[in-house]
Amino acid sequence: MVAIKGEEIKKAVLRILKDIKENPEFKLNKLYKVASIFLAIGEVVDMPSLKMMADYVVSAPSRFNQLLSYKYQVMGSPLEEKFGKDIDSMLKQFFDAIEKCANLIAKESIDELEILKLLGQLEDMYSKMPSLRE
C-alpha cells in the first residue's frame, strides 16, 4: 500500500494546472485528471463536497471549450475585447478555485466549509457563463 500525503497531492494538482494554464485551448482535457484526484479523495474520506468539486471540474472542459472556440471566432470583431476578457476572467476564477481546493487538501484536515464556499463561487460563475447553443 502506498501512502500519499496531502502536500504531494497538492503538488500534482498544481503541476497539472500549470500545464493547462500555459495553453488552455488545447489542454483543458487535463482537468479530468484533477477531477479524478478530487473524486478519489472524496470517496476515500467520504466527503460529499469534494465529490461535488470533482463534478464541477469534470464539467469544465465542455463548458470552457465552447467559449474558447467562440473567442477565436470573434477575433477582429467589436466583441473580441469584451468577450476575451470575460473568458479570461472566468478561467482565472476557475483555476484559482482549484488551487484553493488543492491547498485545503494539503492541510492536516480538510475544511469542508471552505470547499463549500468554493463550490458556491463556481456555481455562481457557471450560472453567469454565456450560453452559445444554437
Do the domain assignments include residue 104? yes
Do the domain assignments include residue 14? yes
Do the domain assignments include residue 134? no
Query: Tens digit of pLDDT for each residue in 85-130?
Result: 888 899 999 999 999 999 999 988 888 899 999 999 999 998 888 7
Query: Tens digit of pLDDT for each residue in 42-76?
Result: 999 999 999 999 999 999 998 888 888 888 787 88
pTM: 0.87
Q: How many domains, the chain?
A: 1
- What pLDDT does residue 93 have? 94
Do the domain assignments include residue 1? no
Residues 22-47, mean pLDDT to the nearest whole number? 93
Which has the higher per-residue pLDDT, 2 or 6? 6
Give the C-alpha distances (Å, rounded to integers) separating 59 from 13, 68, 77, 103: 17, 15, 29, 21
Do the domain assignments include residue 109? yes
Residue carrying C-alpha cell 484533477: 34
Do the domain assignments include residue 124? yes
Do the domain assignments include residue 133? no
Tell me the residue range of the domain where 32 lies.
6-128
